[in-house]
Each structure stands twice: as structure tokens, then as C-alpha cells.
Structure 1
Amino acid sequence: MLKNIMEEIYKDRIRKITRIVSVCLIIQLLITYKLWVMAWRTVPAVPLFSFLPVNPGNTIDFFLLTLLFIFCFILVLLPSSRKLFLLIPLLFFVLILEDSSRLQPWVYLYSLMFLYLFFQSQNNANVLFAWKIILSSVYIWSGIQKLNPHFASEMFPWLGDFTGAGKYFERHHWFAYTVASLESLAGIGLWIPKLRKFCCLIIFGLHLFILISLGPLGHNWNHVVWPWNIAFAWLVFDLFFRNDLVEVKLSLKKMYVASLIFIAGIIPALNLFGKTDHFLSAGYYSSVASMAVFYFPQTEKDKLPLTTNPHLYFDQHAKLGILMMDNWAIEELNVPVYPEDRTHIDLAKKICPCMEDQQGSGIRLLVKKRYSSEKTEIEIPCSVLLK
């Protein structure tokens, strides 16, 4: 009897969370609408797999985006529509094949949540357990990813500018390391009953910090992460802050356990050795990913799209123009370029044909070592990129 009651409570909780995630997806798709249809943007698409270029065309792009909106609206009204939990991730996958910049962390994490809901729909406890694992692993690994000198000296002082203590943070790196450690430890503490609510409060504070830093009171930047932060704060409240009267027995099958270990453990761990992608490993705002710019002769400035103008800088001595590639993407698409060297290089390959001087234009990558302040600049001209 009690088990049946708890099953109903869990089912109601899953429906509520599904509605929250669906609403946030709708908002984030609206914020990033240019990202999903090539006709609405000037930033070139970079296929997920360079050996498999996918170009379905603007009509198909628009149709798939429309389906995403419709399916999310249906889930808001009918959050138990099981087929949609598979169809939404599949639609995202098709769109991501065309452009890897669509593989944003929120797309990846929401898709994982829907997939576990689809494959474990007969066991509400398994669904909630999987969601808890995914959620807590985000904080654990995100904190670990930030334990590097680049986060301490570059990213954290920038994030903390709104406090007026940005310069202080630049000189005193211990503060950044403390915040990163707190995030990781709070993710672990979510599983310790006596510490759970305290750790939830720490996580709420971190989300508030990010919202203020990136919101209108701060840098007013990367707007798409605002609803994502609110959604994850709510998920922490609903999945961890609230206490359950009793735990429903889990049915841990081998594939279920193996998938959770792979997603929440192996993929993020391998990123510490450069073997997996940052966005799939909770490497958000860790400042470890390489920085990329496209350089070109000043005389060829007019060959670039007009949308690049606010993100161009000029070296009068070298007579070179510099395009900040990530700034261009964020301004136009409301998302950064997928933060991997191969993606930036492939994006540069799309820009190179615009340039007449193939030797005098190309990409510069500022590659960072994770555990030291050392940075290496790599320059690849278009003449090499287009071979």
C-alpha cells in the first residue's frame, strides 16, 4: 500500500520535472532560434563529424525546429507522452549532425533525462535515481574542472566583477579554488542525508552567483544559460532538498548501471586527460578550452559578413584583422562555438574561402595546459587548412 502511494508521488514528481524541463527548453530554443535554421544566421555550420557532412536544407531545419517546439508544448500539457521522450533527443541529434555548436550542455543533459525517462518509464524510482546521478555528477565534475590556474586567474575574476572584487580575485586565487572545491564537494554532499540540505543551499548560492554575474546586473551575457541555471536550481530542490518518506526499491539492471557509470563517471574523468569533449564533461566556465581567433589582412575586412564587425580588432603594426570567433557566435546565435580545437579549425576552414590571401589569413589557437599557467599559440594559415 505504502509502496503504491510512493509510486504515485514519484510519478507526480516526474511529471512536474518534465514540465519544468520542457518549459525551459522552449525558452532556450526561442533565445537561440537563429542557431537552428541556417537561413537565419551567418556563422557557418560545422558538422559534428567532418567525414559526414549533413545539410538537410532550411526547410527541413525549420520543420525539425517546429516539431521540437510542438513536442515540448505537448509535454507541458501531457507530461506522460512516452514517445516524445525519445523523439525529442532524436530530433536534436539530427540537427546536431549538421552543426556541432547545437550540442550545448543543456541540450545534452535534457536529452539524457528524456532518454532515461523513455527507457525506464516502468520504474519511476529508476528514473529519479538516474536524474539524481546526472545532476549531482554535473556539480562534482564542474567543480573538479575548475580546479586549474586559468579559472583562478581569468574566469573567476571576470565572473566576480559584479561584486567589485574582480581585482582582488585576480591576486588571490585561493578564493576561486575554494569556490570550485565547494561546488564539487556539494555535489558529493547531495548524497549524504545529514549534509544534503546544506549542500543544496551552497548550490543555490552558486546558481545565484552565476545568474547575477551573467544577468542584467552583471555582464548581461550568454542569455541562454539563465533559464538553464533556474531549471537546475529547481531540479536540485525537487530531487534532493525535499525529503522522501520512503525509498522505493531500485531495479538496477546491468545496462542501466553501466550507462550511468559511463555518462557520470568515465566521460568526465577522461576529459581530464584530454580524451573527451568539455561540454560532455561538465567543463562549463572552467577556462581550460583553447581560445581561437581568425586572422586576415586588413584589406580583406569587407569579405567577412557584416555581423562580424562588432567582433573585429585590428593590429595596425602587423596590418592584420582579428575576428573573435566565439564572440561572433554568442552575439548572433546566443551560444558559443562548440569548445574543441577541431571545431574551431573546421569553422576557420569555412571562412578561409572568403579570403584571397590564403597565406596571410588563418586561425590562431591559444592552447592551455590544464595544470599550469602555460599557454601555447598555434597558427595555421588557410593555405594549410584547405589542403
Structure 2
Amino acid sequence: MSEFSKDPHGEIRLSLYRRLLAAVGLSLVGASYKLWLPQTDFPQVPAFSALIHAPPQFDYVLALGIVGSLFAWLLLPQRFASWGGWSVAAWIAASCLLDQHRFQPWAYQLIFTAIVLATCEAKLALRLLRILVISIYFYSAASKLNAPFMTDLGQTFLDVPLGWFGAREAWSDTARQTATLLFPLGELIAGLLLAIPQTRKVGVIVTVVMHTALLLVVGPLGLNHWPGVLLWNLCFLIQAPLLFWPLVAKEDPEEMVAAPPAKWRAVGIVVTTFVLLFPLLEPFGYCDAWPGWALYAAHVSRADLYIDAAAAEALPEKLQPFLSESEWGPYRLDAAQWSLQALNVPIYPDDRFQTGVAIAVAQKYGVAWFCELGVQDPADRYSAERTETRYRGPQQMEAATKRYWLNALPNHRLAR
């Protein structure tokens, strides 16, 4: 820790980091405000079946708690930051239980980061947060080192820079697929450089360049993704120098406060250990994509709703733009685009949640007897092939929910 001779314990940088996360959290909640309210635009799927009858008042209370705690975390002096961190983690986690869709990767990061900052003294917290950020880069890279990314989402990303130089048609399929590996390779290099103290400055530079390039690819000049994607990438761009670059500054006595009680330290260490190891189960199907840091991954499981032509015509006008002809049926509901349009967030990338969305649509609009649910397992990492199971009619579709440990049934008020 000699590099922090003027901030030996990291209080200054963690105070700035806490305020960065609070400001970004407020911006992200604001950009996706419908997600956190008891809306009826898009189905809600609670984490546990006992919550499918939860009244909408709960959502309002939790939304107010999230906003209030984030403001407190942003504005309170450092001596009260621990209580603000506990509050942020509790309100967001409770809200996510009412709707798995809210468990966006940035919400997950806010939860565990707030707990670490609330329970550990600055020196330990800095060390734990560095380890966790490095692990995000490694896990995210590993999730892209497969055929599904090389042939699907990776091609979408690659088309943007190739389009800037008018070279989309000049590359062979083999060259294009090989070039997609530059995306996970950049994450691996950034993570490795940040993990080694001697190369940490270079790692910060590489990380900033990488996120700047990613902002160009997914921003208005490229794929024009929803604002939250840009905000979260901007957070990572600023996060790298805050956590890893030597901070040359004079300590503010007001920021030098007593550490949290030592008995809390174990909580932060346990949370860090869980977040660090849980993604190892993602390839085996025991960890969802986003908690496993499978970001922009193409191999994840999914569920599609196929609707007979006559029934599709009877769906409300708001859903018609998301219907497309399919090999079976003949219409498929594009729930991913619906989520972006209705809530301004990407859809939760897991067949369990998407099964709940399909059931809600089938039940709410009275077309369950004219629908088929297609549940696709994660794509093979080498061949990109998928195994799909079909469920026809309301009984079979509801029976499909039994295959999951967590709940896959929608909130009762949104499915009636």
C-alpha cells in the first residue's frame, strides 16, 4: 500500500467511489423508473411463489426506499456512510424479490458493494472491491469465449467498427469470427493488468480505453442501446482509476472516521466470497447469467412464446409490433424488444423469468389454449446448438415452472 502514502487507508477514494455509485444508481433508477413501480406494461415475476399476490403498495414503498437511501448514501458524511450502505442494499434487494427483472447487473453490483463498504474498514474494503471488479472482467470474458458469441452477438458488435471503415463485406466468415475474440480478450487483459500491482497503471489505461470503445459501439454512433447500458459503462470507466490508480491527495480530517465494528467485517468477507465464487456455477446452470457476470453473452437460456395466427391478431395493439413470423405457429413474441420499449431495460436473460412473462401474456389475454411455450437450454459452447422443449396449453405451460428452484409464475394481478 506504499503507493497510497497520502491516503494510506483509502478513505478518500472510497468516499468518492461511494458517491459515484450513488449518483449512477440514482441515474439508472431514474432511467428505468417504470421497472421499479407497480407497472402493468410488462409482467412481473417474483423470486418466490409466496410473493405472486403481493399488492402494488409494496412496490411504491420499496421504490421510495431505494431513492431515499441512494440520496442519503450520496449526501451523508462518511461517518454515516455505513448505515447508508446497509439501507441501499436492503431496499434494492427487497425490491428485486418482488420482480426478478429488477435484478439488473448494476443493481447486483450496488447491493454487494454497499454491503462491503458498510462492513469493512477502508483498507480491507478497497482490497475486496478490487478483487470483485477484477473477477467481473474475468467472468465476463469467459462467458464470451464460445461459439454462440462468435457467431451471434459478437458479430453484431463487430459490425459497428467495421461499418465505420466500410469493411463489413471485406472480411471472410472465419476472419470475422476470429475478430470477435478481441472483445473478451480485451476484458481478460484489463483484468490481468489490474490484478498485478506492477502493471496496475497500465491496466487502468487499458480499461478506460476499452470502456470508451465500448461506449462508442453501444452508444448513439453504434448500436444505440438503452441509456442504462451507457451509464453503467461510464461508471466502470470512472471506477477503474478510482479503485486502482494512486490517489494523490491530502486527507480530509472529516473523512477519517472510525472503522465499522470488527464483527461486521466477516459479513463483508462472506459476501465477497459468495459473489466471487457463485459465477463458477453459471456454466452448470446453477447461477443465472447476470449474477455470473455473463454480460453480453449469447449462450444463455431463454423462453419464447409462440402464438397461433388468429390468437395473435386478438392481442392488444401495444404487443403487435413485437410479433414476428416464426417457423412454427406462425408468430413469435419478441419479449426482449418489448422489455426495452416498455421499461427501458434489457430483459432478464434466463428461461425461468421469460417463462413467467410468456405465461402472463397467455393468461391475461385469454390465448393460453392457442399458445406454445418454447424453453431453450443454454447453447452448446462449441457448436452453438440448443435443446428446446415445447409446452402446449395452460396446463403444460404451468407445469414447465416446476423445473425451476425459484418461482417462474407471474404476479397474480398482471396475469388476470
Could you tell me the TM-score, scaled by structure 1's length? 0.88
For 2:212 and 2:4, locate their aligned partners in 1 and report how far apart those are by CA, in whole Å. Answer: 37
Aligned match for 1:374, one of 350, 366, 385? 385
Aligned match for 2:151, one of 129, 150, 153? 153
Identity %: 23
Match of 1:139 in 2: 137
Instruction: Kindly provide the amino acid, as one letter, of the partner of residue 188 in structure 2.
Output: S
For each residue in 1:351-379, what CA deviation from the matched residue of structure 2 results, as whole angstroms up to 9, or x when unmatched? 22145554430222343112332223332
Alignment of 1:72-151 (within 5 A): 72-80=70-78, 81=80, 82-120=82-120, 123-151=121-149
Bigger mean CA offset, 22-31 vs 301-310: 301-310
Q: CA deviation at 1:292?
A: 3.2
Bigger mean CA offset, 300-309 vs 183-192: 300-309
Match of 1:360 in 2: 370
* Aligned-pair Cα RMSD in Å: 2.7
**Compared CA separation, residues 295 and 135, structure 1 to 2 (3 A):** same
Question: Does 2:321 match 1:329?
Answer: no
Structure 2 unpaired stretches of 5+: 250-261, 400-416
* Matched residue count: 375
Question: Does 2:281 match 1:283?
Answer: no
Alignment of 1:1-387 (within 5 A): 10-39=10-39, 41-49=40-48, 51-80=49-78, 81=80, 82-120=82-120, 123-163=121-161, 164=163, 165=167, 168=171, 170-172=173-175, 173-242=177-246, 256-264=268-276, 266-315=277-326, 320-354=330-364, 356=366, 358-367=368-377, 368-383=379-394, 384-387=396-399
For 1:330 and 1:170, locate their aligned partners in 2 and report how far apart those are by CA, in whole Å. Answer: 30
**Compared CA separation, residues 105 and 95, structure 1 to 2 (3 A):** same
**Compared CA separation, residues 177 and 3, structure 1 to 2 (3 A):** closer
Q: Work out whether residues 159 and 210 of structure 1, in 8 Å CA contact, stay in contact via their aligned partners in 2.
A: no
For each residue in 1:71-95, what CA deviation from the matched residue of structure 2 results, as whole angstroms up to 9, or x when unmatched? 2222222252321211111111221
For 1:66 and 1:131, locate their aligned partners in 2 and report how far apart those are by CA, in whole Å. Answer: 27
For 2:53 and 2:14, locate their aligned partners in 1 and report how far apart those are by CA, in whole Å. Answer: 36
For 1:54 and 1:115, locate their aligned partners in 2 and report how far apart those are by CA, in whole Å. Answer: 28
Q: CA deviation at 1:115?
A: 0.4
**Compared CA separation, residues 318 and 102, structure 1 to 2 (3 A):** closer
For 1:53 and 1:386, locate their aligned partners in 2 and report how far apart those are by CA, in whole Å. Answer: 17
Could you tell me the TM-score, scaled by structure 2's length? 0.82
For each residue in 1:79-118, what CA deviation from the matched residue of structure 2 results, as whole angstroms up to 9, or x when unmatched? 5232121111111122111110100100001111100111
For 1:306 and 1:346, locate their aligned partners in 2 and report how far apart those are by CA, in whole Å. Answer: 21
